[in-house]
Amino acid sequence: MNIEVMNGLLTPKSVAVVGASTKPGKIGHTVLMNLIDSNYAGGIFPINPKAEEILGLKCYPSVLDVPDQIDSAILTIPAKFVPDVVVQCGEKGIKGLNIITSGFSEVGKQELEHHIVELAHQYGMRILGPNIVGVLSNSDKFNGSFAPFLPLPGSGSLVSQSGALLIGIDAATYLRKVGFDKLISIGNMSDVNFSDTIEWLDQDENTTCISLYIEGFKDGRKVIEAARKAKKPIIGLKAGVSAHGAAAAASHTGSLAGAAKIYKAAFRQAGIIEAENLDNLFDRTLVLSLQPPMKGDNLLIITNGGGVGVLGTDAAEKFGVPLKYAPEDIQAELKKYMPPFGSAKNPVDLTGMADTDWYYGSVKYAIAHPWVDGLVVLYCETAMTDPQEIAQCIKRAIKDSGVKDKPVTISYVGGEKSEKAMHWLLKNGIPAYGAPDLAINAMAALNEYAKIKEAVNDLGEDIDNVDKQKALEIIKKARADGRNALTEIESKRVFEAYSLPVTRSELTTTKDEAVEVAEKFGFPIVMKIVSPDILHKSDAGGVVIDIQNVDGIRKAFNEIITNAKTYNTKANIHGVVVQEMAPWGTEVIIGSVNDRTFGPTVMFGLGGIFVEVLKDVTFRVAPFSKKQARQMISEIRGAPILAGVRGEKPCDREAIANIICKYAFMIIDLQDEISESDANPVVVYEEGNGLKVVDARIILKKK
């Protein structure tokens, strides 16, 4: 990222409005008016060959006629004129182009969009947009957009892929009292995209927290990289979680890999805090822009009402920061600030008798106590207390405690007086919310942020004993047959090349051959159909397990071939695979998709109905460390089954973590070849006894 160019684009010292219009209501007029109205101190140069002067500013026929230097040009002209103007801007030495104009890739004109980016890059310029609302910055008093006014000042900055939403959010900042420094509309992201804006906002001294409204990343890996490196909290609201990926899915993993789960994984790996909805984006932006991270898990709640205390307690559990009883010394001290019927356990209930002195004393003591990692103060409006005085005493208590590195969030439940007091708190840097669960959710975001940042460096593991050449040969052979699907036995050979433990298997084409292999492996035996046209072998009656003798082999051979031919008369049948039968164990699934946004991504879950019905699976974008693999195993809902329930011994989870890492290595190593794959099931044994892949499937990328 060229910082000077990006500065020119996002905090220009001077701007040209190309397409400035004399007609009120036109975007080219509105943008000019907004620049003037926002008290922008830099030079403003309207460009319009047909006008002398607009809104009191001298007009120029083209940017090349402007005598002064120009940092950025805002383009509001029709799409067809954009390429010529880009060249003029380049000649003029302009750094960045904010292209408001629409009519590019969003209406299918990818080539035109591509063309203007190429032109801009020839001159070292960057393009924001096209199809944007513009850029708004409070600290620069710069409204270079057609949104009517600057947002309520604050220190969060928002990057939005939707222009209309950005305008809505702009206005809503005043109603919600959540301030922003910058609002950046990135539209079609032809050039400047999420990763650039994250990188730039991370070094922007007026931004303390970065909020993203995302419809889809263009290059997910670059965003992950940028977010990992960022030193400021990033919050992501992902919209459109249903429209993605799942459509053309040949493997199980493919059909389970909706956008929601993969984005969730990517956010976590990138250290991006998720916002659940627009409300949550505001709430979390507020807290993350104002408060430090919550570095441990000890949350203390101080309240004057049992009801909000219980609601807070429920929320704490729901949002992942469950309450623990406060240590004895805290309890002993806090008892001084409550009547005998109060409770100092946690939540600390000062009771309805709580006045400013009690709030002051308890808050000041609690926030400074080393056990406390985060403090939530709840208040219900009462007849005896003044909400504003309570707010002031909380603020004073925090200040007098001298503590600056621990977070505090507040919730008021009450009427207009409470509303006013909360606004006062916000202005004083303390996030306050109208319900206890919101204050707790905000605190949970600070806790998540601390944890998530720890995990961003959990990167890949190196794997020994890899025979990539062997894998590529198998793939090449299938491609030579004109196939995109590998058979089970081919897939297993590829897995073997990456040291994944698969059941011994051999392809046979006659009954005699099958008998020979079975006797070599020893009984019991499993036999299955081998056909690139039959992906789900059981559905075709193509799997026979637990075969005990030679007669069984002969019988199964006939049965499998007959069933397959009935199932699909056109199926190309390679033969029947004879394989060792894995002893009974717990079935899990490991799979992969080559996601179009994030690339190679690994899935893990329990097998059988857990995956079929409950879709109890989790994802990680590869590569990732064994620590992350272990986390995958523990975060699925079915985790207790692997940990051992009701006296059963735990499964070999370490073996699962190992194979997940090998799998991740494999799909990265073969990312040019493999589109989707799965090992379904993998049979896992008791701790120390390993596991076996009994079924394998690889779908190749179309070439």
Q: How far is CA 484 from CA 252, 536, 673, 702, in A?
A: 16, 15, 10, 7
**Residue 545 binds to ligand ADP (criterion: CB under 6 A):** yes
Residue with Cβ nearer ligand ADP (188 or 680): 680
* CB 451 to ligand ADP: min, Å: 36
* Residues in 665-694 at the binding interface with Mg ion, rule: CB under 5 A: 680
* CB 271 to Mg ion: min, Å: 35
Question: From the centroid of its chain, how far is CA 512?
Answer: 55
Q: What are the backbone angles phi and psi of residue 137, rounded to the nearest 5°? A: -140, 120
Question: From the centroid of its chain, how far is CA 49?
Answer: 46
Compute how many residues bind Mg ion; rule: CB under 5 A: 2
**Residue 537 binds to ligand ADP (criterion: CB under 6 A):** yes
* CB 588 to Mg ion: min, Å: 12
**Residue 29 binds to ligand ADP (criterion: CB under 6 A):** no
Chosen from Mg ion, ligand ADP, none, partner binding at 528 (C-beta under 5 to 8 Å by type): ligand ADP
Residue with Cβ nearer ligand ADP (9 or 502): 502
Q: What are the backbone angles phi and psi of residue 272, rounded to the nearest 5°? A: -95, 130
Name residue 40's amino acid.
Answer: Y
Residue with Cβ nearer Mg ion (88 or 680): 680
Residue with Cβ nearer ligand ADP (70 or 691): 691
Rounded-to-integer distance, Cα 451 and Cα 627, Å: 14
Chosen from Mg ion, ligand ADP, none, partner binding at 537 (C-beta under 5 to 8 Å by type): ligand ADP
Q: Which two tokens stand for residue 227?
A: 């977010």
**Residue 695 binds to ligand ADP (criterion: CB under 6 A):** yes
Q: Which two tokens stand for residue 259?
A: 């956008």
In contact, 323 and 347? CB cutoff 8 Å: yes
**Residue 492 binds to ligand ADP (criterion: CB under 6 A):** no
Per-residue binder mask for Mg ion (CB under 5 A), 628-667, x = binder: ----------------------------------------
Residue with Cβ nearer ligand ADP (208 or 251): 251
Look up residue 701 and give its DSSP letter: P
* CB 669 to Mg ion: min, Å: 23
Residue with Cβ nearer ligand ADP (142 or 521): 521
Stretch that binds ligand ADP, among 287-295, 491-499, 577-585, 652-660 (CB under 6 A): 577-585
**Residue 503 binds to ligand ADP (criterion: CB under 6 A):** yes
Stretch that binds Mg ion, among 88-96, 457-465, 610-618, 695-703 (CB under 5 A): 695-703
**Residue 695 binds to Mg ion (criterion: CB under 5 A):** yes
**Residue 581 binds to ligand ADP (criterion: CB under 6 A):** yes
Alpha helices per DSSP H over 369-501: 387-401, 416-427, 436-455, 468-480, 488-497
**Residue 681 binds to ligand ADP (criterion: CB under 6 A):** yes
* CB 428 to Mg ion: min, Å: 60
Whether the bond into 83 is cis, omega within 30 of 0: no
**Residue 579 binds to ligand ADP (criterion: CB under 6 A):** yes
**Residue 228 binds to ligand ADP (criterion: CB under 6 A):** no
* CB 247 to ligand ADP: min, Å: 22
Stretch that binds ligand ADP, among 59-67, 131-139, 148-156, 536-544 (CB under 6 A): 536-544
Q: Are strands 374-380 and 348-349 parallel, antiparallel or unpaired?
A: unpaired
Q: Which two tokens stand for residue 426?
A: 């916000």
Residue with Cβ nearer Mg ion (310 or 535): 535
Residue with Cβ nearer ligand ADP (244 or 537): 537
Whether the bond into 640 is cis, omega within 30 of 0: no
Q: What are the backbone angles phi and psi of residue 446, rounded to the nearest 5°? A: -70, -35
Stretch that binds ligand ADP, among 224-232, 479-487, 531-539, 552-560 (CB under 6 A): 531-539
Q: Which two tokens stand for residue 432?
A: 């306050």
Dihedral, CA atoms, 33, 37, 42, 44, nearest 10 degrees? Answer: 10
Rounded-to-integer distance, Cα 534 and Cα 670, Å: 24
Name residue 328's amino acid.
Answer: E
Chosen from ligand ADP, Mg ion, none, partner binding at 526 (C-beta under 5 to 8 Å by type): ligand ADP
* CB 586 to ligand ADP: min, Å: 11
Q: Which two tokens stand for residue 568?
A: 């699909």
Q: Which two tokens stand for residue 326?
A: 């406060």
**Residue 694 binds to ligand ADP (criterion: CB under 6 A):** yes
Residue nearest to Mg ion (CB): 695
Q: Which residues contact 178 (CB under 8 A, 6 or more apart)?
A: 152, 154, 156, 282, 283, 285, 286, 426
Rounded-to-integer distance, Cα 315 and Cα 347, Å: 12
Q: What are the backbone angles phi and psi of residue 637, rounded to the nearest 5°? A: -65, -35
DSSP labels, 122-172: HTT-EEE-SS--EEEETTTTEEEESSSSPPPEEEEEEEES-HHHHHHHHHH
* Residue 346: HSE in the Cβ half-sphere, 13 Å Cα cutoff: 24
* CB 292 to ligand ADP: min, Å: 50
**Residue 574 binds to ligand ADP (criterion: CB under 6 A):** no
Q: Which of 117, 135, 526, 679 binds ligand ADP (CB under 6 A)?
A: 526
Look up residue 682 and give its DSSP letter: E
Rounded-to-integer distance, Cα 587 and Cα 679, Å: 10
**Residue 528 binds to ligand ADP (criterion: CB under 6 A):** yes
* CB 406 to Mg ion: min, Å: 51
Instruction: Write out the residues near ligand ADP by the rule CB under 6 A.
Output: 503, 526, 528, 536-538, 543, 545, 579, 581-582, 681, 694-695
Instruction: Write out the residues near Mg ion by the rule CB under 5 A.
Output: 680, 695
